Amino acid sequence: MKKIFPYIESFEKRAFGMFIHWGLYSEIGRGEWVYHMENMTPEAYKPLMDTFTAKDFDAEVIAKTAKAAGCRYITLTTRHHDGFSLFDTKGLSEFDVMHSPCGRDLIAEFCDACRKFDLLPMLYHTTLDWMHPDFNEDFEKYLEYLRKSVELLCTNYGKIGGIWFDGNWSKPDADWQEDKLYGMIRRLQPEAMIINNTGLDSRGKTGHPEIDSVTFEQGCPTNGNRHALDKYVAAEMCETMNDHWGIAVNDFNYKSPATMIEHLCLCRKAEANYLLNIGLCADGGFEPIQKEFLLLIGRWTDLFGEALYNTKPYRADQGSEFILKGNGKLYIVCMQRGIAGDGNVTVTKAEDGSSVFEGIAEKIKSVRWMDNKESVAFTQEGETLTVQLVPQRYGSSFCVRIAEAEIE
């Protein structure tokens, strides 16, 4: 019998999260891998700590913005591959925020703000460390340092949503002693999600039995083989707004908000969460365009978000239209719907049309658009549901439009 854990189901129901990459690399503004990609030396890189003030880092502003965007959790980089920690390492290392001009435990502030706004705090922690000498010279000793660091995250910040690891792919043949690491987390935070990113080349791959969610980095998820496992695991797609995780001031290649909304919906179609990344500026504030994109997505989730939270994909599928089920309703998700209007001005002109969904066992009482509450004409014969999905009115273009069906 499949093992199903309530904390995993609860995480999956949250649907949409904000990913935040921020650290010393943000002061350079050329992405989170700048140390590695530009072959920097520790002597050239570590002085960045001397100007790390975090003067614009306001955890409550971040949490409030995530909430407005429709996010239900935030995953923050507590330590990235450069080895610099945003938390008090309690003497494990001097390469942390407490030894910088900031002098504040930013993870404590972050966790407190998440709880204030009813968001789940998820803590990213690298397993790869470019700066720590033991990573290459004494791996056994390094793993002790890694476990002690994670232990601090599990004991000093109250109940957390989970630990999001990243970096095992750097030494694919090494013994990472995952039993010890995950066993410690289970002992200290029994309901914390344990996630270990499998990277670009192994999207959706399942690994250690304690893993609670598979990852899809920069790629829309599939169900894969995870439902064949003895334990029910979630899935999550993490994606950047542009081409970098950490802020890159010369990266102009932003996805459109429409694309991000579509990816959010496609994740829910695949029974996965969507983790959308931002890279904070050097001093910890928002890049203005990223904040505005989040707020624009939030205007969409204000209208349609109910269809994404606490729902699962339904078996009926009609190409660019599909159905989610939850909250006592069915939700008909319509991708690529055009606009009614004059062809001289409406670039995505569309006509009325019907969509047929088979295998609908529930008796449908009514169907209406979520944005304007207008009724949608439908017929149902046995388990065949036919819905008249009219185009959007001129003056609106929702990217994805959703109708809710009441069940008798």
Can you give the CATH number for the domain in which 91 is found? 3.20.20.80
Q: Mean pLDDT of all residues in the chain?
A: 93
- The last residue of a domain, from among 291, 309, 327: 309
pLDDT at residue 225, rounded to an integer:
65
Q: Which stretches does DSSP call E strand in 210-363?
A: 213-217, 234-240, 273-279, 311-318, 321-326, 329-335, 354-358
* CA pair distance 53, 50, nearest whole angstrom: 8
Q: Does residue 1 lie within any of the structural domains?
A: no
In angstroms, the first-to-last Cα distance of the chain is 32
Are residues 123 and 204 both part of a single domain?
A: yes
Are residues 275 and 180 both part of a single domain?
A: yes
Nearby residues of 62 by Cβ (< 8 Å), 6 or more positions away: 20, 74, 110, 113, 286
Q: Which amino acid is at 101?
A: P
Any idea which residue has 């078996």 for tokens?
Answer: 315
Task: Please give the tally of structural domains in the chain.
Answer: 2
Give me the mean pLDDT over the 116-142 stretch. 98
Are residues 297 and 388 both part of a single domain?
A: no
Mind listing the pLDDT tens digit for each residue in 358-394?
999 999 999 999 999 999 999 999 999 999 988 888 8
Q: How many CA atoms lie within 13 A of 208 on its CB side?
A: 19
Cα Rg, the chain, nearest whole Å: 23
DSSP 3-state of 392? strand
* CA pair distance 404, 100, nearest whole angstrom: 52
Nearby residues of 144 by Cβ (< 8 Å), 6 or more positions away: none
DSSP per-residue codes, 259-294: HHHHHHHHHHHTT-EEEEEEE--TTSPPPHHHHHHH
* CA pair distance 121, 39, nearest whole angstrom: 33
pLDDT at 258 over 70: yes
pLDDT at 113 over 90: yes
Are residues 119 and 138 both part of a single domain?
A: yes
Are residues 288 and 334 both part of a single domain?
A: no
* CB distance 326 to 311 below 8 Å: yes
Neighbouring C-beta atoms of residue 97, cutoff 10 Å: 25
pLDDT at residue 194, rounded to an integer:
98
Q: Point out the least confidently predicted range of 290-299, 307-316, 376-385.
A: 307-316
Are residues 178 and 85 both part of a single domain?
A: yes
pLDDT at residue 96, rounded to an integer:
98
Are residues 168 and 131 both part of a single domain?
A: yes
Give me the mean pLDDT over the 50-75 stretch. 98
* CA pair distance 337, 350, nearest whole angstrom: 7
Which one, of 206, 93, 85, lies nearest residue 153 by Cα?
85
DSSP 3-state of 316? strand
Neighbouring C-beta atoms of residue 33, cutoff 10 Å: 16
* CB distance 1 to 293 below 8 Å: no
pLDDT at residue 320, rounded to an integer:
80
* pTM (predicted TM-score): 0.95
* CB distance 122 to 273 below 8 Å: no
pLDDT at 114 over 70: yes
Are residues 346 and 320 both part of a single domain?
A: yes
pLDDT at residue 220, rounded to an integer:
80
DSSP 3-state of 183? helix
- The last residue of a domain, from among 253, 278, 309: 309
pLDDT at residue 222, rounded to an integer:
74
pLDDT at 170 over 80: yes
Domain containing 318 — which CATH number?
A: 2.60.40.1180
Q: Point out the least confidently predicted range of 17-31, 217-231, 372-386.
A: 217-231
* CA pair distance 139, 119, nearest whole angstrom: 36
* CB distance 364 to 378 below 8 Å: yes
Are residues 293 and 343 both part of a single domain?
A: no
pLDDT at residue 347, rounded to an integer:
55
Top-confidence residue, 344 or 189 = 189
Give φ, ψ of 144 to 5 degrees: -65, -45
pLDDT at residue 207, rounded to an integer:
78
Are residues 291 and 380 both part of a single domain?
A: no
Q: Does residue 67 lie within any of the structural domains?
A: yes
Are residues 331 and 294 both part of a single domain?
A: no
| Cα 337 to the center of its chain, rounded Å | 26
Structural domain span for residue 392? 312-407
Are residues 301 and 319 both part of a single domain?
A: no
pLDDT at 204 over 90: no
pLDDT at 100 over 70: yes
Q: Point out the least confidently predicted range of 55-69, 94-108, 231-245, 380-394.
A: 380-394
pLDDT at 223 over 90: no
- The last residue of a domain, from among 309, 341, 361: 309
Mind listing the pLDDT tens digit for each residue in 146-166?
999 999 999 999 999 999 999
